[in-house]
A and B are shown apart, each in its own frame.
Chain A
């Protein structure tokens, strides 16, 4: 069943998608880039807004590392670790804190305002995650090849704005954007990030870091 779904997914990607490749200033593909289209025709539909999105914590890391959701949707924070996480955000788009135990899931959190929500854990202070709240229903995160496929239908052709955000931007509250004309439901677009990216911060942690 999963294979069939995967195959369907690939088919639909091939036939009905705007495929964007994100590269850095040196032309290398950039993974983990959030991409979304803005404009009236590309807004989230009701079903997208009613979906409950998930930002888990597993092995002392946020999973996914970056989550992109339409504004006015809800996100739950399941803790898959046996240890307590104290998740918080000071971000303007949404400030909150949750003390999360594996066996005591809390109610989802509503994200109404568009913007970048930077997540931390007050116990494991190397943990870092992002929720991008966007005024859009057409969005995605680039894969290891820097590619992101946005499914669009024929009603969504026309002039839009392509927005691009990466956690290694100097100013996290300033996504890059440029006009984009969508001429067909399957179209290839190259996007080169316009600014130098900050160094990667990859913390090497394991279970022996729990109690620090």
Chain B
């Protein structure tokens, strides 16, 4: 992401340079006057950035080293929150549940989306079909969760009616410990598969046609073409999509909050749910802040590892 920024900025400067100044001193005067205008233009965004991103980030780190129950002032307790977290069974449970969710969610979602993207690219080219597949993504998490909560209801849900009709035992999708996380993961696969497919589809369209032409002249089979051409050339896009979706997946909250609330028992208490309960259920903001610092570090590591080992910022095209 930063490389694009730097690359984009260079022509910008050049263009302004050629556009404004024939003489160097004039250019310098311009810079000074630009700063004043720039401050005017950037002031609202800068206020928002400092007040709601920068300061809270710093404050969040500070709070993670304190004990703070909203009443009174935070008291500095050093790394006690962190040591407590590492000995906290509920934290490890939340991590295990979250990782299980991410694995199921991302695994199925990426596989299905890749299939859909190939279909969009090779067969179903209409914008209408792409639009239809995107629809669930545009509807609120809460609405999607409630819709599936109804369809997967144990007694009256249509899915259990079908299961029953097939002569199989009904499944307590949201109500049983072993099904809660797979169910929530499945609901979000349904919501995100079209969107993810569109992202991958955009990547497929950026693969130049002549590569495929050469392959077909050489008599490569479609399977061979897929594995030897499409996948390697799609890799940077796939990695980017994975980074974004994995990071989003780790922060699952809405679906859980509306359907199971973290239960039954601890079966679906994902990490963000745990943070929410610590902060707003138990008013333990210091502990909750430490948990969110840990989540942040994990997400940064996950993104870094994915970019590094899957070589997301290198293309095989050149």
Partners in one complex: no
The chain B residues found within 8 Å of chain A, CB to CB, are none
Residues of A within 8 A of B (CB): none
